Structure formats: C-alpha cells, structure tokens
Structure 1
C-alpha cells in the first residue's frame, strides 16, 4: 500500500513545485546548449528497461587540457551504442535549459591489468537554474576523437579502451 505522502512528494518533484531557491550574485550569460536534453522515464516495476534512444545528434567528446566538472550532476548509467556514449543523468533544476559536455584530457592511462583507460568528465552547466525539481535526462556524445587519438598512438585500426568517469563508479568498455 502506498502512502499519500510519497505520492505528493513525487508529484512535487515532477512538477517542480518547490520553486526557485534564493540566489545571490549576478547571473552570467551562458553559451547555447551543447546537448539537447531529453526526459527519461523509468519503466514500471517488473518491466524490462527499453534501449536508450537519444533525441538529438551526439555532441563530440571535447579534448581539453584540464577537464573539470561544473554544476552538480549524478551519472546514473552509461551505454555504448557503436561510437556513441549515451549517459542517463539526474540533477536539480526545471526553470532553465541545462547543457552537458563530455571532457577528456587526451591521454590514456594503464589499468592494473595493463589495459588502456581514459578518464572522462561529464560537465553539467545549469545556467544558474535555482529550481529544485529532480530531473532525469539523457545526453549523447560521439567518442570519435578518443578513437582517433588511440589509433594515432597505437598505429592500429581496432582496439578497446576502458572508460572511467570522474566522480562515479560507473565504467564502460569502448571497443572499435
């Protein structure tokens, strides 16, 4: 039996009825969205999870000297679909558009087993959104720059790289 309190909390979270938080300081102008966000919904209990299908073209992985996270975000899951990484994320907001970028330093490390791995950072830009609704979104990223760098360094067409995500225990294996 469900308690009425939980239904009210879920409804408030979905509708963003908690309103904006108080904010201090000046708002900065932000660049246009990097990735169009698409709402995701969990399947009813007992039903299998549907494959992730991002609504927009994947944004390319960005190679930067010092990748760093921006606003708070929880990486819920990652799925590799060919050269595309599809990430399901969760964060607060609901009043302004949010953008996501996948950042990488351009270097490979070796795992304890000697396998190549890449440390990726999922950067979330909330654009000053102070609303408190809990949002679930899907963002997709093209891993072509990582594959190209690996091929240049290893002089081989095919390989595999373990993907690690800063601030998360999730990993993925990118095989090409």
Structure 2
C-alpha cells in the first residue's frame, strides 16, 4: 500500500498537482452556510492569476559582447530559430527548484568559414542559480542580435549580409541574414 501512495506523491510533485481538486479530478468540498447565519452569502475564492508558460520566450535580451565569453552551468541547445533580428533558442537542462537565467555572449570577432563566409562563435551562458534538482527542463530563450549586425555593418561597410552562427559546445548552427 505504501508504494502506490509514494508513487502518486512523486508524480504529483513532478506534475504540479495541488490539493484534492487536482488529485481526484472532482470539485473541492465547499463549506455549507452555517445555521447561525442564514443570510450569509457563499464565499467565492478569488480567481487565479494567469501565469506565463514556463518555456515562453520573454522579451529578447540583447547579445552581450565580452572579451572572454564562457558558460557557467551545463546546457544542451536543442534548436535555434531566427525571427528577424531575434534569435530564439530551445534548450534543455536539469533543475526545477530555482529560476534559471540565460545570456548570449560573443567576443565581438568574426571568423571565416571554409567557403569564405562570416561566422560568429556564440556562447549560451546558463546560470542555474545553484539549483541542484534533477528534473529535465525544456525552455526557450530569445536574444536580440542587433550588436552583431551593427559590428558586421561597421566592418563590411554594407547594409545587408549574412553570418553563420555557431554555438560553443554544440553542433547546432543558424544563419542570420539581414
């Protein structure tokens, strides 16, 4: 009898179950009006505040140019998508007990590919804020690539171009055209 209860508690903790409504699927019991106060109106709970999805890409953060970009905590880049000047990155990492933050770092220089095209080596820095929980999290982060475009324009004296985006520690790449 203990094992099913324990498994149910673990599942509820992982899935975010809360109280009898979530675990039974029924309505939570409501207190009946007391006999001493026949005119008392039923008390209604305030509506729950809407929450943003955990993996929603918030307002894009700017790409940060730094002399020696380095990642802090482990992260796996699952994919990237370019939406105009915004890079949307799908990531996976462990955690679940604290808020995680992400930064996109670049040393400010371009390399040339074997085909002679411009490349930028980016570092997706992940800060788990000491989260030692082990749930597997899938998140999305977005970054504004304006500083990269501006640097390319200054160096190449042209308004339009393309840069291959490479990510340190990952085989995922993207092509940023502007």
More helix by share: 2
Q: Give secondary structure in 2 for the equivalent of 1:69.
A: coil
Match of 1:47 in 2: none
Flag the structure with more relative contact order, 1 or 2, with Cα contacts below 8 A and sequence separation at least 6: 1
Match of 1:153 in 2: 155
Q: Give secondary structure in 1 for the equivalent of 2:59.
A: coil
TM superposition score normalised by structure 1: 0.72
Judged with a 3 Å threshold, the aligned counterparts in structure 2 of structure 1 residues 13 and 74 are, in CA distance, closer, same or farther, namely: farther
In structure 2, distance between residues paired with 1:80 and 1:55: 13
Tell me whether 1:39 sits opposite 2:41 in the alignment.
Answer: no
8 Å CA contact 1:109, 1:117 repeated in 2:
yes
Q: Give secondary structure in 2 for the equivalent of 1:39.
A: coil
Larger gyration radius, structure 1 or structure 2: 2
The number of residues matched between the two structures is 135
Q: Give secondary structure in 1 for the equivalent of 2:148.
A: helix
CA-based RMSD of the aligned residues comes to 2.1
TM superposition score normalised by structure 2: 0.71
Q: Equivalent residues in 2 for 1:58-73 (5 A)? A: 58-73=60-75
Q: Equivalent residues in 2 for 1:7-22 (5 A)? A: 11=11, 14-15=14-15
Q: Shift of the alpha carbon at 1:13? A: 9.4
In structure 2, distance between residues paired with 1:156 and 1:13: 54
Deviations 1:30-52 (A, max 9, x none): xxxxxxx9534xxxxxxxxxxxx
Judged with a 3 Å threshold, the aligned counterparts in structure 2 of structure 1 residues 115 and 132 are, in CA distance, closer, same or farther, namely: same
Tell me whether 1:168 sits opposite 2:154 in the alignment.
Answer: no
Regions of 4+ moved over 6 Å: none
